[in-house]
Amino acid sequence: LAPPEDRALRLAALRRGGEVILTPWDDEELRLRLYRSLETHSRLRSLHSQVEELRRLSVTDGLTQVHNHRYFQERLREEFRRSQRYDESLSLILVDLDHFKNINDAHGHGAGDRVLREVAASLQHSVRETDLVARYGGEEFAVLLPCTHLPGALTVAERIRKGINELHAGPEGALRVTASLGVSSFPHRAILAPEQLMLTADEALYRAKREGRDRICLHPPAPLFSAPPSRAG
């Protein structure tokens, strides 16, 4: 509220995004100005909600509703820098579903999509809220574990492997799913950049596939957990 002659006060209010109502005021004018202000506030809140939803969609995998590849890469770089700066552990688990192509071929891509969604949910139930689960591509997932050393990462990896084995996935829960996992952890003398953490975890995953699947391998080479031979497939 400002008297007509107080030009400086009116300009200051306008610069701050406020409304200027001259005194003495008209009741109808005051009502309309208040209504307009409330309407503007409501539109701004709606726009803010839309922006937040667009941001969420931009970092989320549409099928599985876990984080997507791009967001994983951003977080990997951020967490690696933070771990270097504060001398903290950082572990990475790569999870690849075994013989996933056979599921698509035998039961159709719809069944394969259901399996991916159920595996993603199982992964999220196996980790802490501070950990990151992302779909890395196809039937491969990445799990980033901040402030987690290698023994802790191996415990999580075994929980993930068992959780996937226990799924009753696909149509009517008829599909049995297994996964191979590769684990790598920083600090390590061979890991000086986030790309090297990714590469060493990928090498460990490849060994798990080569050595029979449904198992965990780590960097440096040494199989830690594996399923009984009769269950590898």
Q: Which residues are marked as active site?
A: 139
DSSP string, 88-120: --EEEEEEEETTHHHHHHHH-HHHHHHHHHHHH
d(CA 89, CA 101): 35
d(CA 197, CA 166): 29
In the DSSP assignment, the letter for residue 6 is -
d(CA 119, CA 113): 10
- Comparing CA positions, the residue from 197, 214, 166 lying closest to residue 93 is 197
- Please report, as a single letter, which amino acid is at residue 129: E
Tokens of 15: 């610069």
How many Cβ atoms from other residues are within 10 Å of residue 203's Cβ? 17
Say whether the peptide bond before residue 187 is cis (omega within 30 degrees of 0). Answer: yes
Crossing angle of helices 194-210/69-86, nearest 10°? Answer: 120
Q: Map tokens 């960097």 to a residue.
A: 219
d(CA 80, CA 205): 20
